[in-house]
Amino acid sequence: ADSIGRVIKCKAAVAWEPNKPLVIEEIEVAPPQANEVRIKIVATSVCHTDLYHLLESMHPDGFPTVLGHEAAGIVESVGPGVTEYQPGDKVIPLFIAQCRECRFCKDQRTNQCEQAWRATDRPGVMAPPETRLTCKGKTLLQFVGTSTFSEYTVVNAMAVAKIDPAAPLDKVFLIGCGVSTGYGAAVNTAKVEPGSTCAVFGMGGVGLAAVMGCKNAGAKRIIAVDINPDKFEKAKVFGATDFVNPKDHDKPISQVLAEMTSGGVDFSLECTGKVEVMRSALESCIPGWGVSVVVGWTDLHDISTRPGQLIAGRKWTGSAFGGFKGRDAVPGLVKAYLDKKVKLDEFITHKLTLEQVNDAIEMMKSGKCIRTVLNVSPE
């Protein structure tokens, strides 16, 4: 408790500039201000959106930053006005806040939040204007308001979910992004129906979670689509019934799927963040009632299709964090894991330390891992 109210010096992985390895530095983490929570990060992971910011978007105004947004930890201290959390609470930081007051938070149809936009509304920057992190006299941006590649971070109290003290943090950190995002895209956004046929594009962590969501929703046929055949065995574990590798076919994947399903799938989920795959996913849907959900993030290109695809009755929509209102839903997802209703352990293929974050990035780039847990601090 001697750290309360003081600056904490700790280790973090700093992205000084785009497209360069992260550097392990000693950084300063200021005490939490009003309505903020300082968290000791126990476990975190690299998610594709971290790679996107570092290697694809490469927006110069988005650096230097501390990446990381999929994590779990323990409250170290709280700022003035915070009553919901106490030191010692197990928590998951949220990259989409839930203020509970704005018109979006009060509407059951969405998990968007006017407060959440402050964390990401500056195009390419992907960080709020204020930050509690500094290094070598320089301000470090807090990536999507979380910055979990650090032993400590400070998060707005609206962007924290308090979870069951029995939860193993080195597993439930997955609920901080990948699993919730894919799982919720299937059950909340697509609203997959029992007996339906689904296609999921991209068998990374998010896509596999989408497969699990389709299965839990009662889909009878779940087609996994990926250009890496090594992913099929993993996809089966989560409930995939078929596997299609676009490289095995000389016709468009939408045509292949239409032929497999007598006209197209009822639901498709795009989990790669590539606009051409988004188009394929839409066009793989059956006309009349097919629903295609865009889950993978990119902000670099437009999406396109012929209007006839939509006029025929397909619906094209998108999903952020699986449509879950974070503070309300995350504790329930943790409970679902503890009750064995949701799988988490099966996503974790490698275990490293924060110092090995660049190895985790390389493994994700090459498709050698699903999720690599970075053990930051002991629980």
Name the residues annotated as catalytic: 47-49, 69-70, 99, 102, 105, 113, 118, 177, 371
Q: Is 244 exposed, middle or buried (0-12, 13-18, 19+ CB in 10 A)?
A: buried
> Please, how many CA atoms are within 13 Å of residue 109, restricted to the half-sphere of its CB?
3
- The closest alpha carbon to 54, from 12, 95, 19, belongs to 19
- Residue 253 sits at φ, ψ, to 5 deg, of -60, -30
Kind and range of the H or E element at 358? helix 357-365
d(CA 164, CA 29): 26
Instruction: Give the residue from 92, 95, 101 showing the smallest Cα distance to 161.
Output: 92
Q: Which of 196, 223, 113, 199 is nearest to 158 (CA)?
A: 113
Strands (E) across the chain are located at 8-14, 23-29, 36-45, 65-66, 70-78, 90-93, 133-135, 138-142, 152-156, 160-162, 197-201, 221-225, 242-244, 267-270, 291-294, 315-318, 348-353, 371-375
Which is it for the CA torsion 19, 22, 27, 30, positive or negative? positive
Picking from 161, 119, 111, the residue whose alpha carbon sits closest to that of residue 143 is 119
- Tokens 């699986």 belong to 322
Contacts of 221 (CB under 8 A, 6+ apart): 196, 197, 198, 241, 242, 261
Which of 145, 101, 176 is CA-nearest to residue 337? 176
Residue 35 zone, left/alpha/beta (φ > 0; ψ -120 to 50; rest): left
